[in-house]
Structure 1
Amino acid sequence: MNYWILSIEAIMNTFSIIESKSDIRFKMSLDSTSERGNILDEQSINAGDKILVFIDKPVGEIRYMLEVTGVDHTHLVLHKSYETGYGLTMRKMQQVDEETYNLLESNNHRQLHQISEASFNTLFSHMFEDFSNRYEVKTEQPVIHETKEDYVAPEKNPQDEHLPHNWIVFGAPGTGKSYQIDQQRKTYFGSNYERVTFHPNFSYGQFVGAYKPRPMKEDKSKITYDLVAGPLLRTVTKAMNHPERNYVLIIEEINRANTAAVFGDIFQLLDRNEDGKSEYNIVASEEVKEYIESQTDADLVNYEIHLPSNLYIWATMNTSDQGVFPLDSAFKRRFDFEFISINASEEKIGDIDITIKGIGTMKWNHFRRTLNDYLLQHVRNIKEDKLIGPFFIKKTDLEASDKHFQKVFQNKLLMYLAEDILKTDKTKLFKYPSFSQIVTAYIEDEENVFSDAFTEALAEQE
């Protein structure tokens, strides 16, 4: 038996979207030169060999363990044995196996390297140990908003008012997207919800479920690996157990992750009929089937699962954020979208005054509205979702001491304007061409850092 480590690009989701204990045919070009370290031929790799999968930067972690079940010319038939949501980091790898660390640092992605059995065992054990050290490993499944003391019943039934089962609220930063969804959640779902925030490294295993380490009940010093349900699977089983209740899964920043990879085959279930049940079923993996049957009274004879009509999926989206993933049209068609306008709910902070160094005191809404109008006129092709919403700076920060507000103003608003909106030409709004000059002038000299044209616009519209 030989041991290997495979380096893949971070955007590659092949191993994330398939369930553990599943097989996949993986193609690699037959470039087996020793300089590239890409070894793939029938003499050197065989069925039974084991492969660790390293996800290249920016993830930079070992997250999968695969077993070779067959070799067919340029194809490997691989069996996915384990996946962990948070794997062995490069920093930890450098500490425990510097040779493999250097190997990965010096080669490009999608390379297959042979490693020793000792290296494999070290990396594999630390792959789960690193997860356990960073995140407390619990012996029980998390219980979500279900204790009698904490339970809050909903006030209304979302089905009576025909609320969308799949709903995305989007708009500019600070328009209150999360607040609106949370207010609706309190009214229609009470405590029957779970909230998750997507990020670029978020995976199918984290969303649906993945094998993760757990201490054995008989001996806490030993680790076993079980399927740990993600927020989607947990919410589905709760909805199945309580058909008389409605449940909502709230996804914050849905487009900060690769939704196609995170949802995987669950995407098919997003098509809903008039009652809100999935139009089409999908075939669950063995471990998902076993989990659902262990948590509910369901008997998945044909391994088929669906989203029940009492399960809602609501999300927020900010299209102006850097590094976001675009949602494809097929995904968008399965959601209802609601746009929150740039001035929505501004009356809630209409009486709040702010002081801007070098200019004076004025209403926050006056400053914000004038700023947005000015940006629309002077910044080419700026989109509305790049503008400043009423709650871009929190109400509590606006009402806080002047010292606290000034810190938030310079570190949040000025930085956003200079580094996100005006990357190439800051002088369209400011007197200075660099952010460091802007901050220095504002903090140390307490002078007006905004251009004369914008300052005049503030005075004219007041």
Structure 2
Amino acid sequence: MLSELKMVGEWFQNEPSEAWDFKEIVFDTKTKNKLSDLNQPNRTITVLDHSAKVELIGRSKNSCYIPGQYFVYALKLRPLLTLLKSYERVLIALSNEVKSKRDVIKVLSSKDRKSVAISKLDCYSQERFFEIFGNDSARLNAKEFYKDNDSHRTFSDFFSSILLAAIPVPNASSGTLADLLLSISEYEEIFLHIQKYYNDAIPWLFRTDDGDELMLRVMSTLGWDGKLDELQENEPVSWGDIADVFLLRPTPEPSNDNYISTPVHYLESCNKYVFVRKGLLGLNMFDTVSAKIAELWPGMCVRRRGGKYYVESDKRDCMKGPPITGGTNSIFYGAPGTGKSYKVHQVCSYETDKFVTVFHPDTQHSDFVGSLKPVTESGCVVYRFRAGPFTDALVHALINPDRKVTLVIEEINRASAAAVFGELFQLLDRNPDGGSTYSIRTADPDMLGYINHLLKDKGFPSLEVLRIPANLSLLATMNSSDQAVMPLDTAFKRRWRFEYLPIDFSVEGVPQIALTLATTSGEVTLTWPKFAKCINAALVECDVAEDRLLGPFFLSAKELEDQRAAMSALEGKLFIYLWDDVLRHHGHERIFSNVYKTYGALSAAFKEGKPVFSLHIEEALAKVGERADSAAESLASDSGTDQDAVD
């Protein structure tokens, strides 16, 4: 069926400017070879990486360079090109049927429907065909077909002018563009190749405010491509599980208000026009209808966002909101147990896509970024790039610019951070929007190839340089009291924000279990916060650095869930930390009884319920705790508010 050219042309004439903002494309060797099939006796095309040289061979040899996006116009204009070729085939058949150009003009001007070429058309198509030769607006005010009563323009010139009238292209090289596009439309194999590899370069094929208008365009396009020829004549015509999708009528009017008034196809098998039902893209059927369209139109999908309906490449990213900015580099530090990890993961809200890694003394740049790794494929060992956490987070942020993405680095100073980051160090400087101030050309081509492969698969342009996008944040934890730590150099630290987490036993979630501890004066019962404060006060007195003190979460709620678990955690975790890490150079007697010369002896005594603390600590515990025989009564009457007995 010949649909109305004016209607289809206006689909493209009325597009906003951003509909023609095509991505930069790069032609690979396979594509260059494929496009060489477009060479003709009067034209040769030499395809380069980003453009093509077109040489016109005639009385004079002219040439011009055209951008690679000229080829992509074939994807955007596919519906119009297909329809124009249908019109052209009828005109060619009419020309072959009559004797001269004068006869062609006579048939067209008189609207004679007796010729074989015209009589084969349905009545709606006949009207549309004659219309473009006698009505300027019907052909988008393009060139007239007739020159005079005896001659007419070449078919190529006539239809090229209609094509160019529909798109915002300046006169320079426009004839070359039209000729190229019409040629591509004749080579289905070339078109399918361009569609497969470059479909994501166009912002969208169709965009409408109304779902019915989009369905008219989609179904008309599918009809021109012969995708609706298999519809059955039986009424009502369903589409898979969707009932009453199509209406068939012998006239080009549906006579049914539930269907779009313009026919989308003509079934020659039953001589009936096909109309499509209204409201198919409503909320209840949107996903089902979209899936059916995707079956008939590989590589394309129907989407809805911002109150508009789109037909676009399924490789193009579907943003659900505006691009996210504000990425930052932040390090959270403080004494062990102050909740650094908890704070970081709290900053990462449920709206954040999170990637987590932990640095250790053997962490290397290749672990962080990725490297080639051997894999077995079809019984053979080959090497593939396996991404590290940084590359995973980077790619995810690039293909999801409307999502907050966070890379969490636990214990950042347990490795040589500057060495692990390597050349990525340069990317840590941030612009006000959160993106990298500077870029780098990565020294690892495998990494860049891996990233570009994933970006291309999602419809994003390839990268030549690396930057941290504005929606990617790096959050890290640091505990400088760890024996395995490595210092952060000044240049590295300058590129991060630092947030100190103080020791605060009043924060929510601190375990309040009562501990019963043996002293030389009898058992003392006190809560975990009071006990930890006594230990910290003693450590401060002997000039222990603040980052070696006990944070409120040094022992977890699980470790302090009952008396038995608490005693095990004190002996197996807290005491060994104090003995080996904190008191090594300050003297064990600051906290523990000088009776015990080895940790083994201390541990055994504690397990047997013997006193293990120094007299100084016992005095502090007695001040803030309760004697065991009165502890139960005292704790029952206590509202749970901790009273600091030590400064």
TM tier, smaller: 0.5 to 0.7
Counterpart of 1:295? 454
* Aligned counterpart in structure 2 of residue 183 of structure 1, from 338, 343, 346: 346
Question: Residues of 1 paired with 2:583 and 2:322: CA distance?
Answer: 46
In the TM superposition, residue 439 of structure 1 has moved relative to its aligned partner by 1.0
Aligned partner letter, 2:559: D
Counterpart of 2:524? 360
Report if the CA contact (8 A) 2:538-2:590 is conserved: no
Question: Residues of 2 paired with 1:181 and 1:174: CA distance?
Answer: 13
Aligned partner letter, 1:368: A
Report if the CA contact (8 A) 1:173-1:387 is conserved: yes
Question: Residues of 1 paired with 2:507 and 2:601: CA distance?
Answer: 32
Counterpart of 1:414? 575
Question: Residues of 1 paired with 2:557 and 2:548: CA distance?
Answer: 20
Q: Secondary structure at the match of 2:375?
A: strand
Counterpart of 1:249? 407
1:403 partnered with 2:564: yes
Deviations 1:101-138 (CA, angstroms, capped at 9, x unpaired):
xxxxxxxxxxxxxxxxxxxxxxxxxxxxxxxxxxxxxx
Q: Which structure is higher in helix share?
A: 2
Counterpart of 1:276? 434
Q: TM-score, normalised by structure 1?
A: 0.61
Deviations 1:318-371 (CA, angstroms, capped at 9, x unpaired):
111001010111111111111110115544236321222343321111111111
Deviations 1:64-85 (CA, angstroms, capped at 9, x unpaired):
xxxxxxxxxxxxxxxxxxxxxx
Question: Residues of 2 paired with 1:293 and 1:347: CA distance?
Answer: 45
In structure 2, relative to structure 1, the CA distance for the partners of 1:438 and 1:241 (3 Å cut) is: same
Q: TM-score, normalised by structure 2?
A: 0.44
Report if the CA contact (8 A) 2:513-2:527 is conserved: yes
Q: Secondary structure at the match of 1:173?
A: coil
Aligned partner letter, 1:275: D
* Aligned counterpart in structure 2 of residue 194 of structure 1, from 348, 355, 359: 355
In structure 2, relative to structure 1, the CA distance for the partners of 1:438 and 1:333 (3 Å cut) is: same
Deviations 1:289-325 (CA, angstroms, capped at 9, x unpaired):
2111101035446x31101001111011111100101
Deviations 1:137-190 (CA, angstroms, capped at 9, x unpaired):
xxxxxxxxxxxxxxxxxxx99968x5x61011111111111111112213441x
Question: Residues of 1 paired with 2:367 and 2:488: CA distance?
Answer: 19
Q: Secondary structure at the match of 2:355?
A: strand
Question: Residues of 1 paired with 2:612 and 2:624: CA distance?
Answer: 19
1:372 partnered with 2:544: no
Report if the CA contact (8 A) 2:351-2:403 is conserved: no
Counterpart of 2:419? 261
Q: Secondary structure at the match of 1:355?
A: strand
Counterpart of 2:177? none
Question: Residues of 1 paired with 2:453 and 2:511: CA distance?
Answer: 53
Counterpart of 1:286? 445
Question: Residues of 2 paired with 1:158 and 1:286: CA distance?
Answer: 28
Deviations 1:5-56 (CA, angstroms, capped at 9, x unpaired):
xxxxxxxxxxxxxxxxxxxxxxxxxxxxxxxxxxxxxxxxxxxxxxxxxxxx
**Residues 16-415 of structure 1 aligned to structure 2 (within 5 Å):** 165-189=328-352, 192-216=353-377, 218-219=378-379, 222-284=380-442, 285-297=444-456, 298-300=460-462, 303-343=464-504, 345-349=506-510, 351-358=512-519, 359-377=523-541, 379-380=542-543, 382-400=544-562, 402-415=563-576
Question: Residues of 2 paired with 1:430 and 1:346: CA distance?
Answer: 28
What percent identity do the matched residue pairs reach?
Answer: 38
Question: Residues of 2 paired with 1:421 and 1:433: CA distance?
Answer: 16
Question: Residues of 2 paired with 1:236 and 1:383: CA distance?
Answer: 37
Counterpart of 1:129? none
Report if the CA contact (8 A) 1:158-1:188 is conserved: no
In structure 2, relative to structure 1, the CA distance for the partners of 1:158 and 1:354 (3 Å cut) is: farther
Q: Secondary structure at the match of 2:360?
A: coil
1:449 partnered with 2:449: no
In structure 2, relative to structure 1, the CA distance for the partners of 1:350 and 1:233 (3 Å cut) is: closer
Aligned partner letter, 1:370: C
Report if the CA contact (8 A) 2:366-2:388 is conserved: yes
* Aligned counterpart in structure 1 of residue 600 of structure 2, from 424, 436, 450: 436
Greater gyration radius: 2
Report if the CA contact (8 A) 1:346-1:365 is conserved: no
Question: Residues of 2 paired with 1:225 and 1:292: CA distance?
Answer: 16
Report if the CA contact (8 A) 1:174-1:392 is conserved: yes
Deviations 1:433-460 (CA, angstroms, capped at 9, x unpaired):
321221121113x111001111101222
Question: Residues of 2 paired with 1:340 and 1:212: CA distance?
Answer: 40
Aligned residues: 295
Question: Residues of 2 paired with 1:158 and 1:334: CA distance?
Answer: 24
Aligned partner letter, 2:449: E
Question: Residues of 2 paired with 1:158 and 1:167: CA distance?
Answer: 21
Report if the CA contact (8 A) 1:207-1:232 is conserved: yes
In structure 2, relative to structure 1, the CA distance for the partners of 1:330 and 1:345 (3 Å cut) is: farther
Deviations 1:361-388 (CA, angstroms, capped at 9, x unpaired):
21111111111011101x23x1111000
Aligned partner letter, 1:170: Y
Deviations 1:375-429 (CA, angstroms, capped at 9, x unpaired):
101x23x1111000111110121123x2222111101001111111111421121
Question: Residues of 2 paired with 1:407 and 1:368: CA distance?
Answer: 16
Q: Secondary structure at the match of 1:305?
A: coil
Report if the CA contact (8 A) 1:271-1:278 is conserved: yes
Question: Residues of 2 paired with 1:344 and 1:316: CA distance?
Answer: 20
Question: Residues of 1 paired with 2:584 and 2:351: CA distance?
Answer: 42
In structure 2, relative to structure 1, the CA distance for the partners of 1:179 and 1:275 (3 Å cut) is: same
Report if the CA contact (8 A) 2:531-2:621 is conserved: yes
In structure 2, relative to structure 1, the CA distance for the partners of 1:270 and 1:314 (3 Å cut) is: same
Aligned partner letter, 1:212: K
Aligned partner letter, 1:289: L
Which one is further off, 427-436 or 226-235?
Answer: 427-436
Question: Residues of 2 paired with 1:343 and 1:157: CA distance?
Answer: 39
Question: Residues of 1 paired with 2:474 and 2:508: CA distance?
Answer: 29
Q: Secondary structure at the match of 1:357?
A: strand
Aligned partner letter, 2:387: A
Q: Secondary structure at the match of 1:172?
A: coil
Q: CA RMSD, aligned part only? A: 2.1
Aligned partner letter, 2:584: K
Report if the CA contact (8 A) 1:289-1:300 is conserved: no
Counterpart of 1:90? none
Counterpart of 2:621? 458
